[in-house]
Amino acid sequence: MRLLVTGGAGFIGSNFVRLTGRVRPDTHITVLDAFTYAANEASVADAPCDVIRGDVADPGVLDEILAGFGPDDAIVHFAAESHNDNSIASPGQFVHTNITGTFEILEAARRHDVRLHHVSTDEVYGDLPLGTPEAFTEDTAYRPSSPYSASKASADMLVRAWIRTYGLRATLSNCSNNYGPRQHVEKFIPRQITTLIDGGRPRLYGSGENVRDWIHVDDHNAAVWEILERGRMGETYLIGADGQASNREIVRELCLLCDRDPDEVDFVTDRPGHDRRYAIDATKLRRELGWAPEHTDLRSGLADTVEWYRENREWWEPVKAAVEAKYAEVEEVL
Ligand code: NAD
Ligand code: TDX
């Protein structure tokens, strides 16, 4: 089987390529990645794939890659601008990559009659109140809050329209917050881990009470494989591992894992429009496809992740100072 993996030099895509090498070694993967600031050469340098540098919104490069694809081959579309804070500061690139890029992927899939799996986020559903048992399901109405989530919601809508109108063979998944190795240090968990490793104080937005539903990146990617192989065409599957925790709780755990005082944290300027809580009800995925997460103990998943950042300093150190300098322009300690 041939797979075009877009965004394969980013966090989830590069872990997908590596997981595929372990569980489906006969798959031939071509990564298409624009190598934006979010990509890391080292994430794919020793990964089992061919790598092409290019923009998903470029139909020419898509045609070149897909020319050799047959009816059993597929595209797994991870490429995106993925960071909410960046989307608030400068939304234009999010419209280009997430909306126009997905449009071009859809048109290329249609021209070459290739099956598509579109990777999306639970943020398209907006947020939930704190302290209630509600969770998102496949039937929850779209209500995105940020330019990032609005651009992902737009992309999902395009995919759904191409399925219905053109009969495109496609599936979608909306996953909760991922953690694990090779996540950019701008994101919450790697930012706090690398700050702690360097002896600094973790930084919590606002009150730190916002809740995210954490899933290990390998569990997300294993679910993507289940959907690729056995998902019903045209369907959407929510992916989540019942990993709800407040940002304050995550930071406490990371401090303890780094032998630091959990009360030595800074509360800083809140994110505008900050979503309060996300939670996924993954019943459909579990019942229909028999998927279940393997990393069910968040504490041990975080411990492994801390260990990875300790052991791979050369992977993150070159960009850490610049990321912190950018945050310093907008953050004030409360
Ligand atoms: P990431 O930012 O780490 O990686 C994105 C990759 O896409 C990078 O390698 C980047 O260079 C590439 N890219 C960006 N613009 C491109 C373009 N125009 N053409 C080609 N490549 C381009 O993101 P991630 O966290 O790995 O997220 C991957 C996907 O999963 C995204 O679609 C995101 O919306 C979705 N998702 C992420 C999470 C999460 O917690 N990180 C959760 C649910 C869904
Ligand atoms: O320094 C920080 N302090 C802090 O309190 C940072 C960077 C974040 N936060 C908070 C904001 C969120 O409540 O932590 C939470 C997680 O923040 P992010 O890592 O920026 O993730 P989030 O905004 O929840 O979005 C993530 O999950 C869904 C991914 O970045 C998206 O790509 C994905 O779609």
Per-residue pLDDT of the chain (334 residues; tens, 9 = 90+): 999 999 999 999 999 999 999 999 999 999 999 999 999 999 999 999 999 999 999 999 999 999 999 889 999 999 999 999 999 999 999 999 999 999 999 999 999 999 999 999 999 999 999 999 999 999 999 999 999 999 999 999 999 999 999 999 999 999 999 999 999 999 999 999 999 999 999 999 999 999 999 999 999 999 999 999 999 999 999 999 999 999 999 999 999 999 999 999 999 999 999 999 999 999 999 999 999 999 999 999 999 999 999 999 999 999 999 999 999 999 999 9
- The two structure tokens encoding residue 204: 């919590």
Which class in CATH covers the domain with range 2-178+215-239?
A: alpha beta
Residue closest via CA to ligand 1's atom 35 equals 120
- The two structure tokens encoding residue 200: 């600094």
- Separation between Cα atoms, residue 99 and residue 22, nearest integer Å: 32
Residue 148 annotated among the catalytic residues of the structure:
yes
Q: What is the pLDDT of residue 60?
A: 98
Q: Which residues pair with 258 in a beta bridge?
A: none
- Pairing verdict, β 203-205 and 266-268: parallel
Q: How many CB atoms within 10 Å of residue 132? A: 9
- The two structure tokens encoding residue 234: 């045209």
Q: 7: CA distance to ligand 1 center in Å?
A: 6
How far is the CA of 67 from the CAs of 76, 109, 114, 168, 170, in angstroms?
A: 16, 11, 10, 17, 19
- Separation between Cα atoms, residue 157 and residue 142, nearest integer Å: 10
Residue 122 annotated among the catalytic residues of the structure:
yes
Question: What ipTM is given for this predicted complex?
Answer: 0.99
Q: How many CB atoms within 10 Å of residue 216? A: 26
Residue closest via CA to ligand 2's atom 30 equals 83
Q: What is the largest CA-CA distance in the chain?
A: 57
Q: 323: CA distance to ligand 2 center in Å?
A: 14
Which residue is it, tokens 């895509």? 13
- Separation between Cα atoms, residue 68 and residue 332, nearest integer Å: 52
Residue closest via CA to ligand 2's atom 34 equals 121
Ligand 1 contact via 77 beta carbon (within 6 Å): no
pTM value > 0.95:
yes
Q: 14: CA distance to ligand 1 center in Å?
A: 10
- Separation between Cα atoms, residue 52 and residue 31, nearest integer Å: 6
Q: Mind giving me the DSSP string for 141-188?
A: PP---SHHHHHHHHHHHHHHHHHHHH---EEEEEE--EESTT--TTSH
- Separation between Cα atoms, residue 196 and residue 200, nearest integer Å: 5
Q: What is the pLDDT of residue 128?
A: 98
Q: 80: CA distance to ligand 1 center in Å?
A: 4
Q: Which one from 33, 55, 104, 123 is the annotated catalytic residue? A: 123
State the closest ligand 2 atom to the C-alpha of 80, by its place in the atom list counted from 1: 32
Residue closest via CA to ligand 2's atom 20 equals 187
Ligand 1 contact via 243 beta carbon (within 6 Å): no
Tell me which residue of 74, 78, 163 sits closest to 112, measured CA to CA: 74
State the closest ligand 2 atom to the C-alpha of 149, by its place in the atom list counted from 1: 34
